[in-house]
Every structure is written in structure tokens, then in C-alpha cells.
């Protein structure tokens, strides 16, 4: 499921050398690792189709699993990777950072390969066509109800119910389009997503993709997952994010659980 090292004559690096190229040092360089290959994405990040932030979140880290999950057409992406390759991990270096558990990574990758072989990620055009059709019917019914029966209380409530259901379900439908789960070709997913979210819902697809890509790249990572970045303006988690994530833990990736009066972090 993964890429293979390109050559045995590349520059060799350690995790310590890679870790300091996280985009926050004086040089602002961004390196990342994909299946033991080391890439310099400092300049490419600004041209990255998925946005500079989503790739920057993995600067100085192993991005193998995120790369596999986000890119369905590996052959196309390899064209860009060739020019970014600067070396590979030294033979004595593990394939992942020290703060990751090998058994969990192996289990996850085995599960993903099994899911792919079972065809569970293959799009079902018939299913999604029916979903889209019923959304259009509900949306049209909401307006026709008010147009035909007038704006008295009952027709208004019925029309509002149709419209609300349609809008909520359109949100989930465009979510699947954003994940490129409806059509096999990404461009058709993006095109229909623009129609659904931009035209039918009145929201920019680029804004949603920018935030949602980061969410799936670093789920539940404080200051990287935008779904958590609404703290403290709109809401906070636990006891004010349990004192700002334990006064800023070294690893920003955490899961918060609140049961009764106790709360804990799983790093």
C-alpha cells in the first residue's frame, strides 16, 4: 500500500535532523517523511493542491499514512515527489517517530489494506445518485409547498421542514464529495461539490475543504485541527480545555475524556 525507497545512494538522515525542519526554525524549512523517503516541501507547500497548512502540519514528521489516505492517484503524485526528494532515513533509523507505537501502526495499515481489498472504499454511483435526487426533490418541495399553498402557518412549517432536511442532508452529501467518495475521478467530485455547497447551500467549497482537510490530517490535535480551534471564542473543552492542555504539553495531539469530576489526556 505504500511507496518504496527510490535509491540506495541518497543522502541519509536521522529523525533528529528531520524533526528540526518543522517550518518553525530560523530557516523555515519543511521536511517530511513518506515511507522512509525524505522530502523538502518548503517551496512546494505553497502550491500544494490541498493547501499549505495541511502539508505543513506534518513538517518534521512521518506523513506516510496521511499521504496514502489523501491521495487516491499515487502515480500522479509521484511526478511531484521526484523533484522534492532529498534523501531517506538512515538504515539504523526506525520507519516512524519514537512517540508512535509500532503495533498500532502495523494494525492500522493492515486494516486499511484489508478495507481496500474488500472494495469498501469503492464509490457506489447508484446509491449517491438516489441520494442527490431525493435532496433535489425535498428542496423543490419546500418552495413549491409555500408557492402553492401560501404562507399561512401550516404550509410554512411544512415547507420549512422539507427545506431544513434537504439542507442538512446536502451538507453530508457535499462532505462525501469533498472526500472524493462519490465518483472515481476527483475532478467530478470537486465539480459537483461546488454545485451543492456553493449554489444550493451558499457556502464556499474551498473554505470547507481547507478546514476539513486539516481536521482529517491531524484529528484532535490542538492548534492543528480546526474543529478544536474554536476554543476559547465559541466554546472550550473540559475545564477550560483542562487548563490549556496541561500548560501546553510537548505533544499537541491528545484526546480529552470527561467523566464525572475526572478528566484525562491520552497522548
pLDDT band for position 260 (50/70/90)? Answer: very low
Residue 226 confidence (pLDDT): 85
37-49: average pLDDT: 92
Residue 27 confidence (pLDDT): 77
Instruction: Report d(CA 261, CA 254) in Å as an integer.
Output: 19
Instruction: Report d(CA 13, CA 93) in Å as an integer.
Output: 8
222-245: average pLDDT: 64
35-55: average pLDDT: 91
Residue 84 confidence (pLDDT): 94
Long-range pairs of 143-151 with CB within 8 A, sequence gap ≥ 24: none
> Which residue(s) pair with 259 in the sheet?
262
Asked whether the beta carbons of 113 and 1 are under 8 A apart, the reply is yes
Backbone angles phi, psi at 265, to 5 degrees: -115, 140
Distances (CA, A) of 159 to 62, 93, 154, 202: 50, 62, 9, 19
Give the whole-number percent of the chain exceeding pLDDT 90. Answer: 58
Backbone angles phi, psi at 43, to 5 degrees: -85, -35
Quick: pLDDT tens for 197-210. 999 999 999 999 99
248-260: average pLDDT: 46
**Residue 60's closest CA among 88, 97, 87?**
97
Which residue would you say has higher pLDDT here, 86 or 9?
A: 86
In the predicted model, what is the mean pLDDT of the chain? 84
Backbone angles phi, psi at 14, to 5 degrees: -105, 165
pLDDT band for position 77 (50/70/90)? Answer: confident
Which residue would you say has higher pLDDT here, 239 or 162?
A: 162
Buried b (16+ CB within 10 A) or exposed e, 77-101: eeeebeebbebbbeeebeebeeeee
Residue 222 confidence (pLDDT): 75
pLDDT band for position 186 (50/70/90)? Answer: confident
pLDDT band for position 236 (50/70/90)? Answer: low
- List CB contacts of 31: < 8 A, sequence separation 6 or more: 18, 21, 38, 39, 40, 41, 42, 59, 60, 86
**Residue 100's closest CA among 38, 58, 70?**
58
Quick: pLDDT tens for 124-170. 989 999 999 999 999 999 999 999 999 999 999 999 999 999 999 99
Residue 249 pLDDT more than 80?
no
Amino acid at each position: 500500500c505504500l511507496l518504496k525507497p527510490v535509491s540506495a545512494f541518497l543522502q541519509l538522515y536521522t529523525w533528529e535532523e528531520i524533526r528540526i525542519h518543522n517550518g518553525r526554525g530560523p530557516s523555515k524549512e519543511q521536511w517530511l517523511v513518506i515511507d522512509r523517503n525524505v522530502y523538502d516541501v518548503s517551496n512546494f507547500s505553497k502550491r500544494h493542491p490541498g493547501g499549505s497548512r495541511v502539508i505543513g502540519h506534518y513538517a518534521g514528521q512521518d506523513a506516510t499514512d496521511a499521504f496514502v489516505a489523501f491521495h487516491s492517484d499515487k502515480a500522479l503524485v509521484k511526478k511531484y515527489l521526484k523533484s522534492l526528494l532529498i534523501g531517506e532515513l538512515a538504515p539504523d533509523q526506525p520507519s516512524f517517530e519514537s512517540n508512535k507505537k509500532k503495533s498500532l501502526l502495523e494494525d492500522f495499515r493492515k486494516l486499511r489494506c484489508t478495507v481496500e481489498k474488500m472494495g469498501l472504499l469503492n464509490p457506489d454511483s447508484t446509491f449517491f445518485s438516489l441520494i442527490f435526487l431525493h435532496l433535489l426533490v425535498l428542496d423543490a418541495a419546500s418552495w413549491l409547498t409555500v408557492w402553492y399553498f401560501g404562507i399561512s402557518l401550516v404550509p410554512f412549517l411544512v415547507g420549512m421542514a422539507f427545506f431544513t432536511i434537504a439542507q442538512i442532508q446536502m451538507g453530508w452529501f457535499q462532505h462525501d464529495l469533498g472526500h472524493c467518495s462519490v465518483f472515481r475521478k476527483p475532478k467530478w467530485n470537486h465539480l459537483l461539490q461546488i454545485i451543492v455547497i456553493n449554489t444550493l447551500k451558499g457556502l464556499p467549497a474551498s473554505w470547507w475543504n481547507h478546514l476539513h482537510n486539516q481536521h482529517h490530517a491531524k484529528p484532535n490535535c490542538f492548534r492543528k485541527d480546526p474543529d478544536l480551534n474554536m476554543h476559547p471564542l465559541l466554546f472550550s473543552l473540559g475545564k477550560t480545555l483542562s487548563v490549556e492542555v496541561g500548560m501546553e504539553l510537548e505533544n499537541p495531539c491528545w484526546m480529552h475524556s470527561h467523566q464525572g469530576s475526572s478528566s484525562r489526556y491520552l497522548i
